[in-house]
Amino acid sequence: MSSRKDLANAIRALAMDAVEAAKSGHPGMPMGMADIAEVLWNDFLKHNPGNPKWANRDRFVLSNGHGSMLIYALLHLSGYALPMAELKNFRQLHSKTAGHPEASETPGVETTTGPLGQGLANAVGMALAEKVLAQRFNRDGMDIVDHRTFVFLGDGCLMEGISHEAASLAGTLGLGKLIAVWDDNGISIDGEVEGWFTDDTPKRFEAYGWNVIRGVDGHDPAAIKTAIEQAEASNKPTLICARTVIGFGAPNKQGKESCHGAPLGKDEIAAARAQLGWNHAPFEIPQDIYAGWDAKAKGTERESAWNTLFARYRAAHPELAAEFERRQSGKLPENFSTAADAWIAKLQMEGPAVASRKASQMALDAFGPLLPELIGGSADLAGSNLTIWKGSKDVVKGGESANYVHYGVREFGMGAIANGLALHGGFRPYDATFLVFSDYARNAVRMSALIPTPTIHVYTHDSIGLGEDGPTHQPVEHLASLRYIPNNPVWRPCDAVESAVSWKAAIERVDGPSCLVFSRQTLVHQSRTDEQVQQIARGGYVLSDPASTRFDVILIATGSEVEVAMQAMRILADKGVAARVVSMPCTQVFDAQPIEYREGVLPDWCRKRIAIEAGITDFWRKYVGLDGEVVGLDRFGASAPAEKLYAYFGITAEAVVDRYARLV
């Protein structure tokens, strides 16, 4: 039987060999954390390599994702579908072993990590998901939701501001099944961290309300095991402070920054093999080592035991069991689409003139009762974002109906936690803040698009229409910036109907996030036919056409500026100019439509085009060309009532008419 050191050294060897083969990577962290990983994965982690998506598995997150060979080695050795050929192909095109772990590419990777600190925040979201699901579904003697979330993190994760946001909220929420292991090696890429990281980290986490286990020798399996046992016994989230040596086993480079982010080199690898007593060729793992790591039989046994429990649960609580299975599958209730369409039709008929942020809340009131998996929250702006709906229940005291998170002023942490909720399964999360503060959350939005997760990011107060709070709070470049994130559709609806359609589209999307952007100010209801209502979901459509089949100009607008376009259309009509008005609530969805549809909305023969949006103008050149005009805002706003700002910055129907004169 292989010793613990032998099992851990297999990780070290694979990390050294893969990084050397790739001629790039980070061998130091996997070598330093190998002993901790061995104890956790072999003695504690509840998982099944044969079914990486088993609902009641423990979640393992590698927040310090640069050390990706640690998780690849763990997955390979324990029996996941990650063959040695993939490890030999580390960091190469189309491999399942990218430079940083990617959830969409590698079985067993729970989340995409690399931007430091976000893995910790994702883990907080996963632990929160477990807690809320358990409250909803567990019954006496039948805890079908009962698992932990483990996260490895390094000094860099703890330096990032998001770690403060996420850890503080985790303590407040009492996420007792969250266990973080800090790789306290004192080294980052630039060298010894004592020159820039001298926080008393244990005290910091104790102040957050965490259980802190100090001074654990990260190379002593017995000490590590005791620490994890103590963590599992706590009803608080736990930080295990594990002192390690980066690059452990490399005699000339261990403990130094030289092994952090570069291959060790053949000579140092040979020396490390000798020091560790690892007398095997590169990428060679003896069968007794594989046997010591193999978790397939134990994983199958654990899942089988859970399946037996769930069968009893289904017999006793058939409706709850069906709901649990549906939510785990990610499928929406069968009646959702029909009910949502009925609500949209009702709005079109009634024609409420409200701010789109209010229309968003109305959509939540309509859709929320249909979606028990919906879980939302706002960064201390619930009363402004209008994200609390009639069925909202605080996760702190909402019991089995809990579905709302008061995130506090933590925009970045909020976004990454919401991604964790989505990744866990069983939820459709949304988060919210002012559009201008999407800057704080931007990398979490980018990650939701990259992972991807079906997270819904709600942004209100979308323009200079915010008014008196002034340019610090008035977004200008933000719409364009968010649109440039791949796989991230941005919806900016012009009235209550388009707002409801945007919510429906975001809820039904399963392969990535959506950004829903809403106004502070009241918006005018637009008249539409049934066909036009159906076309909203295509991202752009003809809202108004002149009686003549030949029009002189196309006016393209979004959000509050659609009404500006409609007013300009009427003024132009009085001057004998025929204008088509196109509402384009989501440019990315429109761009994905067949060419025949796009040509039907924006025919190539009409080169006189004007785009209108209260934001950066350059984005709209793709639709109007260099020969078209854009009415927008290429400077920061000002503090004044909204209506005065629109006049001052020239985002008016009269300005549109003046721009038309330039095209003639």
What is residue 410's predicted lDDT score, i.e. its pLDDT?
A: 98
pLDDT band at 78 (very low <50, low <70, confident <90, very high): very high
What is residue 326's predicted lDDT score, i.e. its pLDDT?
A: 98
Q: Which of 110, 130, 373, 411 is catalytic?
A: 411
Q: What is the mean pLDDT of the chain?
A: 98
Beta-sheet strands, E only, within 78-158: 149-154
> Quick one: how far is CA 167 from the chain centroid?
17
* Average pLDDT score over residue span 318-337: 97
pLDDT band at 128 (very low <50, low <70, confident <90, very high): very high
Is 90 exceeded by the pLDDT of residue 379? Answer: yes
The amino acid that residue 176 corresponds to is G
pLDDT band at 570 (very low <50, low <70, confident <90, very high): very high
For the question of residue 508 being annotated catalytic, the response is no
- pLDDT tens digit string along 582-623? 999 999 999 999 999 999 999 999 999 999 999 999 999 999
* Average pLDDT score over residue span 508-532: 98
What is residue 81's predicted lDDT score, i.e. its pLDDT?
A: 98
- pLDDT tens digit string along 201-259? 999 999 999 999 999 999 999 999 999 999 999 999 999 999 999 999 999 999 999 99
CA dist 179 → 44, 53, 172, 201, 236 (Å): 12, 20, 15, 15, 9
Is 80 exceeded by the pLDDT of residue 1? Answer: no
Q: Which residue has the tokens 């004007």?
A: 610
Is 80 exceeded by the pLDDT of residue 273? Answer: yes
Q: What percent of the chain has pLDDT over 70?
A: 100
What is residue 398's predicted lDDT score, i.e. its pLDDT?
A: 83
pLDDT band at 548 (very low <50, low <70, confident <90, very high): confident
Q: Which helix (H) or strand (E) holds 307?
A: helix 296-316
* Average pLDDT score over residue span 311-339: 98
CA distance 349 to 247: 67
- pLDDT tens digit string along 447-496? 999 999 999 999 999 999 999 999 999 999 999 999 999 999 999 999 99
CA distance 11 to 262: 17
Assess contact for 475 and 436: CB atoms under 8 A.
yes
* Average pLDDT score over residue span 91-100: 98
* Average pLDDT score over residue span 253-266: 97
Cis upstream peptide for 429 (omega within 30°): no
pLDDT band at 499 (very low <50, low <70, confident <90, very high): very high
What is residue 353's predicted lDDT score, i.e. its pLDDT?
A: 98
> ∠ at Cα 80 (77, 85), nearest 5°?
70
Is 90 exceeded by the pLDDT of residue 549? Answer: no
Neighbours of 349 (CB within 10 A): 8
What is residue 233's predicted lDDT score, i.e. its pLDDT?
A: 98
pLDDT band at 664 (very low <50, low <70, confident <90, very high): confident
Polymer length in residues for the chain:
664
pTM: 0.98
Is 90 exceeded by the pLDDT of residue 110? Answer: yes
